[in-house]
Structure 1
Amino acid sequence: MNQFNIKSAFITTSLMIAALGTTFAQEKAKPQDTEFYTPVPATVTPGKSNMEAPSDATVLFDGKDLSQWVSTNDRSKPAKWKVANGAFTVVKTEGNIETKKAFNNYQLHLEWQIPANITGEGQARGNSGLFLASIGKGDDGYELQILDPHNNKTYTNGQAGSIYKQTTPLVNPGKKPGEWQTYDVIWTAPTFNADSTVKTPARVTVFFNGVLVQNNFELQGPTQYIGKAGYRKAHGPSPIKLQSHGDKSEPISFRNIWIRDL
């Protein structure tokens, strides 16, 4: 047998031995080897529809009062937006409002409505914002834009479903003014090192009227109206804020808000 044949035979034999070893190992393995029984997931009763709060949710607005909300400018004062007919409406003179409780990672459901008689155009057409984490007075935080999405031309990283001034929504599934719109949000809060530098950036997934518009988007930092966003200070769990934008258009309404800690 020449040298080439000897080498070929050796390779063939080695491959056969490896195949036999793999087969033997597979015969030794059992399905139970990759099964585990802990931790056991907690039992949660879902709502009657995807828009209703599940049993482990905290209801932030039940259609009756704003007892879960305070004024952003003075957290010792209650929120004073107008509650009527199972919803509440922005009162521009009262400023922004935010939740009493601070949150870290969460699932949030919120419904909002642009008035049917809305006027104006662009950013002046029903402007508000859902701040996924409020980290100071005014508009400090991470903003998911709320704006009339129907035939309303504006910059695309400022339209409804955008992470304001950072990214556009994947699509625009917005409804007409006067119809209720829904946001379902999965928020992963940023984390920080001991020296206050960012360790892991914030991430967000958003469904707008049931349609995916932000897919685990990595935020560059809190919202900046002018200039590039960046993480400039460390923070922990934070309230969720709703914006009173102050433009001349008719005020926006909200209803059916609930949250689940993750």
Structure 2
Amino acid sequence: MGRNAAPWLRCRKRLGWLARLRNAGHTDPPFGDVQHRAKDQSMNVTRLRVLAGALLVIGTGIANAADGPLVATDVKQVDRDYWFQGEYLGSTRTACGRCESCGLQVVALGKNDFQAVLYRGGLPGSGWWTGMTKHDLKGKRDGETLRLIGDDATQRIEISKSTATVQAVHQPPTPGSEQIVSLGELIRIERRSQTLGAAAPSGAIVLFDGSNTDHWKSGRKSDDGLLMIGTETKVPFQDFTMHIEFQLPYMPNARDQGRANSGVYIQSRYEVQVLDSFGLKGENNEAAGLYKFKAPDANLCFPPLVWQTYDIDFQAARFDGEKRKTCPATITVWHNGVVVQNRVELANKTGGGAAESPISLPTKLQDHGNPVRFRNIWLIDRSGSAQAQSLALQRK
């Protein structure tokens, strides 16, 4: 690349960001003892290759959010806004000329409206962490171009053909003579959880693999073979490690707790929230939050319709012979392969969970009226109960 190339292009080449995306690899999934789990929390990343003009073709004849509340469980049902929503990654030039990695999360709000967050350092969990610099933007799609503007109007981002161009707006003393400077480009990508598709290890209990719902009370499968909400395990488990994969519906018109809401209710008592929190702050009632008790250490929520994972270590509360609690329940949660709740002691049940007691209860997949889907659910029992041992032996 020549010296006369734009500074942000030279910057991008020096960073070698595209090579890093292509070479991003798996780390060992977080199973087994917490102290021996892999510390490398990198994620697989796949660049979305969208041909010029493809958005226009895809948008023809599909749903339009302006026609009413849209609830899509498949990309065949989405509107045009969906193809602008998502994550973007690349590099930009700072005011002092230094280049840095940047990530962008774009959230569709329906009727061509959007909000976005620009992260200095990369994407959440991959270069950017809670407390680092970020900028909020809002904008509207006009045809095949989305224009986003920062709160102070000095920062703009224009998205077209899966590429986001980051711009700085300079306001000289003379009115009406603003200057727009391009700082860099970010490419639309799709990240993949490092534990997605993890196979059940020897001795694990496969709770759902798509073949049947035998382990679930009133369990139902969708037409495409996925486990639906509103069910619970037939067998209660005390101490365990669980792997579960879930997909959030695309609901651009919905807001807050009405946007792809469900939950993994451990022992029917402690809820690990499931919610479309993509691009949000990451509160205690959002994705991977311990409902109304503790927010996740980072918001690792992916966009809707992208498969995600929870890997959960749970140890039940302990009680003495008088049914007095002697030790609180503890939980560790990996969201998309990244630890977001680390050996948290649960003071009590969360939300509307069942009261704590020495008796183990089933684990539920909450029905909140939104079509969240689940697959590849398995569990390693550590309590040694006769029921759990019997289920594990059935798999051999």
Instruction: Give the secondary structure class of the aligned counterpart of 1:245.
Output: coil
For 1:105-120, what aligned pairs fall within 5 Å after superposition?
105-117=239-251, 119-120=253-254
1:16: which partner in 2? none
- Tell me, yes or no, if the aligned pair for 2:196 and 2:308 is still in contact at 8 Å: no
Q: 1:83 aligns with which of 222, 225, 230?
A: 222
TM superposition shift of 1:124: 0.7
For 1:153-232, what aligned pairs fall within 5 Å after superposition?
156-224=283-351
TM superposition shift of 1:177: 0.5
TM superposition shift of 1:152: 4.3
For 1:1-262, what aligned pairs fall within 5 Å after superposition?
51-70=198-217, 78-79=218-219, 81-90=220-229, 96-117=230-251, 119-134=253-268, 141-152=269-280, 156-224=283-351, 233-246=356-369, 250-262=370-382
TM superposition shift of 1:149: 2.0
TM superposition shift of 1:86: 3.6
Instruction: Give the secondary structure class of the aligned counterpart of 1:123.
Output: helix
> What is the TM-score normalised by the length of structure 1?
0.67
How many residues were matched structurally?
Answer: 188
- Tell me, yes or no, if the aligned pair for 1:118 and 1:126 is still in contact at 8 Å: no
> What is the TM-score normalised by the length of structure 2?
0.45
- Tell me, yes or no, if the aligned pair for 2:349 and 2:356 is still in contact at 8 Å: no
- Tell me, yes or no, if the aligned pair for 1:122 and 1:153 is still in contact at 8 Å: no
1:34: which partner in 2? none
| Alpha-carbon distance change, 110 to 232 in structure 1, aligned in 2, over 3 angstroms | closer
**Greater relative contact order (Cα 8 A, min sep 6): structure 1 or 2?**
1
| Alpha-carbon distance change, 108 to 174 in structure 1, aligned in 2, over 3 angstroms | same
| Alpha-carbon distance change, 260 to 124 in structure 1, aligned in 2, over 3 angstroms | same
RMSD of aligned alpha carbons: 2.2
- Name the aligned partner's letter for residue 223 of structure 2: A
Determine the C-alpha separation between the residues in 2 that align with 1:168 and 1:244: 21
Determine the C-alpha separation between the residues in 2 that align with 1:88 and 1:238: 20
Determine the C-alpha separation between the residues in 1 that align with 2:367 and 2:244: 16
- CA deviations on 1:12-56 (whole Å, 9 max, x unpaired) are xxxxxxxxxxxxxxxxxxxxxxxxxxxxxxxxxxxx987111121
Quick check: 187-196 or 208-217, which moved more? 187-196
2:49: which partner in 1? none
What percent identity do the matched residue pairs reach? Answer: 38
Between structure 1 and structure 2, the one with the greater Rg is 1
Determine the C-alpha separation between the residues in 2 that align with 1:49 and 1:169: 20
- CA deviations on 1:41-86 (whole Å, 9 max, x unpaired) are xxxxxxx98711112110000112211100xxxxxxx32x333334
| Alpha-carbon distance change, 59 to 171 in structure 1, aligned in 2, over 3 angstroms | same
Determine the C-alpha separation between the residues in 1 that align with 2:356 and 2:242: 24
- Tell me, yes or no, if the aligned pair for 1:114 and 1:147 is still in contact at 8 Å: yes
- Tell me, yes or no, if the aligned pair for 1:126 and 1:251 is still in contact at 8 Å: yes
Instruction: Give the secondary structure class of the aligned counterpart of 1:260.
Output: strand
- Name the aligned partner's letter for residue 239 of structure 2: N
Quick check: 231-240 or 144-153, which moved more? 231-240
Determine the C-alpha separation between the residues in 2 that align with 1:245 and 1:164: 14
- Tell me, yes or no, if the aligned pair for 2:280 and 2:299 is still in contact at 8 Å: no
Instruction: Give the secondary structure class of the aligned counterpart of 2:267.
Output: strand
Determine the C-alpha separation between the residues in 2 that align with 1:115 and 1:191: 37
Which runs of 5 or more structure 2 residues have no equivalent in the other structure?
1-194, 383-396
Which runs of 5 or more structure 1 residues have no equivalent in the other structure?
1-47, 71-77, 91-95, 135-140
Moved over 4 A (4+): none
- Tell me, yes or no, if the aligned pair for 2:196 and 2:309 is still in contact at 8 Å: no
- Tell me, yes or no, if the aligned pair for 1:64 and 1:83 is still in contact at 8 Å: no
- Tell me, yes or no, if the aligned pair for 1:122 and 1:152 is still in contact at 8 Å: no
Bigger strand fraction: 2
2:144: which partner in 1? none
Determine the C-alpha separation between the residues in 1 that align with 2:258 and 2:357: 32
| Alpha-carbon distance change, 101 to 157 in structure 1, aligned in 2, over 3 angstroms | same
Determine the C-alpha separation between the residues in 2 that align with 1:49 and 1:115: 18
